[in-house]
Amino acid sequence: MKVLVTILIVVTAISSIALSQERPYFVTYSHEMEEPGNLEIESFNVVGKPTKGNRFLGSDVEFEYGATAWWTSEFYLDGQTTANDSTIFTGFRWENRIRPLMREHWINPVLYVEYENTSADKALREVVGHDGNDDFLESNRAARPDVEREMELKLILGSNYHGWNISENFIGEKNLAAEPWEFGYAWAISRPLKLAASAHRCTFCAERFQAGVEMYGGLGDWHSFGLNQTSHYFGPTVNWSAPSGATISFSPQFGLNDYSIGHLYRFGISYEIEQVFGRLHRGGQ
């Protein structure tokens, strides 16, 4: 842990921090990639209280690196704390996003591949299959031995139109043990509060805020595809990009049926460090 902290301090010291231009989404991916050579450090958190269960805080720390203009790689460390229970490290995830088309189109596809190794995870970074309220009732001690090694595929579709970003994700997840494919979806729409930038530098001007809505949920599994016994969430979402380089995001989200957790409160913060390994990239246009 000390090594990790030392690396972070050194990396931050030798690099400059840039204004992030993140979408205010917590589950949905847009088609926009990390700029090549930039490293974004993010922390996303969710607070919820399942029916008949204990309140929990699920968290992850993400290291997102723009390997090229069309390939972004991201590593996650996950943890959670549950009231009247314990605080535990729940595992890691590694994802790669590849943009197959080299130009901007009306709809822009991105292919997403992720491997995860988690147990008792409550970060809720996606909802698939029949994930629901009851998955959050087990104690950490009971849930922890059940280690899930999963491969997740996503088709990310994104469009930018007159300042609006519209993103849709189709999710397929396979537990590498003998379990069926599970499916899910996510979509979101957002827009900066002002499209043109101000001529003067400002902290709370409208173009630094983005607002929108986000919805996601499960679509059953290979044997029972559909909406039966699946959970779904919807809510407004907003973020603010501070001049210091941080982006702060918040979203209250509401479970849409009895199978969902009633309310989720999501918040996150991210820093973008420019050209962290810039010497490795060839450049030019």
Residues lying near another protein in the complex (CB under 8 A) are found at 16, 18-19, 21, 23, 30, 32-33, 35-37, 66, 68-70, 99, 102-104, 160, 162-163, 165, 192, 195-201, 207, 274-275, 278-279, 281-285
Exposed, middle or buried: residue 221 (CB in 10 Å: 0-12, 13-18, 19+)? buried
Task: Write down how long the chain is.
Answer: 285
Residue whose CB is less far from another protein, 96 or 139: 96
Our CB check for another protein shows the closer of 164 and 222 to be 164
Integer Cα distance of 2 and 10 in angstroms: 12
Shortest Å, Cβ 234 to another protein: 24
Nearer to another protein among residue 179 and residue 207 (C-beta): 207
Query: 273 with 40: CB under 8 angstroms?
Result: yes
Least distance CB 261 / another protein (angstroms): 31
Residue closer to another protein, measured from CB, 152 or 272: 272
Return the sign of the alpha-carbon dihedral for residues 101, 107, 113, 118. Answer: positive
Quote the least distance from Cβ 213 to another protein, whole Å: 18
Torsion of CA 124, 97, 130, 176, to 10 degrees: -110
**Shorter beta-carbon distance to another protein: residue 18 or 57:** 18
Q: How far is the CB of 240 from another protein (least distance, A)?
A: 15
* Distance of closest approach, residue 19 Cβ to another protein, in angstroms: 4
**What is the nearest approach in angstroms of another protein to the Cβ of residue 111?**
15
Contact 137, 52 (CB under 8 A): yes
CB of 167 to another protein, least distance (A): 11
Rg of the chain on CA atoms, in Å: 19
CB burial of residue 171 (10 Å; 0-12, 13-18, 19+): buried
Q: State which residue, 1 or 161, has the beta carbon closest to another protein.
A: 161
Whichever of 243 and 252 has its CB closer to another protein, that residue is 243
Cβ partners under 8 Å of residue 80, min gap 6: 56, 57, 58, 59, 87, 88, 90, 120, 121, 122, 123, 140
